[in-house]
């Protein structure tokens, strides 16, 4: 059985009350979540106080406690992406508060899918604020950003999860990135 299909089947089995499904599901999703978090954390500064394992553990515990009728693997990882975003933003806000005025910030890079466009690093709290604003305009773009950047799914995995082509994904991610950069830049220049 394809591991992707087995995750979907195990999610359904677990929600249907099969007690051993969660036991079989855990290593499949936990290992994948850990790989995704490690991929994300490679872009962080060396002295970052939040480790990939801690992100995964907290996200996994929250996911298991949720009473969601999981549709499939993509749905599970979409929700996981949102949780990882929340965990990272909450951590950054706590660190900012501890440093009195935000001396230390968590920088998150939006990797470019356009070879001519540079990768941009911004404070994750600013990105979160811009994503919240973008959600009011186009929630689908926010979902793409969460799945691709926060959960760390590849372009192919993200496109498959959303049921779109990779070309459409890249075009829409460029749009989202431009919107976010404009929103963040505007916020940085306001008094």
DSSP string, 75-96: HHHHHHHHHHHHHHHHHHHHHH
Question: What's the pLDDT score for residue 117?
Answer: 41
User: What's the angle, vertex CA 119, arms to CA 29 and CA 110, rounded to 5?
Assistant: 35
120 token code pair: 């941009």
Residue 113 binned pLDDT confidence (cut-offs 50, 70, 90): very low
Q: What is the pLDDT of residues 45-71, one digit of tens each?
A: 555 666 778 888 888 888 888 888 888
Of 67, 87, 187, 66, nearest to 146 (Cα)? 87
Intra-chain end-to-end CA distance of the chain, in Å:
57
Are 176 and 107 in contact by the 8 Å Cβ rule? The answer is no
- Higher pLDDT: 44 or 82? It is 82
pTM above 0.85, yes or no: no
Are 13 and 26 in contact by the 8 Å Cβ rule? The answer is no
């Amino acid at each position: 059985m394809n591991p992707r299909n087995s995750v979907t089947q195990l999610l359904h089995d677990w929600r249907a009350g099969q007690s051993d499904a969660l036991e079989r599901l855990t290593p499949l999703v936990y290992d994948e979540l850990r790989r995704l978090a490690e991929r994300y954390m490679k872009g962080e500064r060396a002295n970052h106080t939040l480790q990939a394992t801690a992100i995964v553990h907290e996200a996994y515990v929250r996911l298991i406690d949720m009473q969601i009728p999981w549709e499939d693997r993509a749905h599970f990882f979409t929700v996981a992406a949102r949780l990882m975003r929340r965990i990272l933003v909450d951590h950054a806000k706590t660190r900012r508060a501890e440093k009195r005025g935000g001396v230390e910030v968590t920088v998150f890079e939006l990797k470019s899918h356009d070879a001519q466009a540079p990768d941009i690093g911004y404070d994750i709290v600013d990105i979160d604020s811009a994503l919240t604003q973008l959600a009011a305009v186009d929630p689908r773009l926010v979902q793409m950003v969460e799945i691709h950047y926060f959960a760390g799914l590849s372009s192919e995995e993200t496109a498959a999860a959303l049921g779109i082509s990779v070309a459409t994904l890249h075009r829409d991610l460029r749009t989202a990135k431009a919107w976010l950069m404009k929103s963040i830049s505007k916020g940085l220049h306001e008094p």
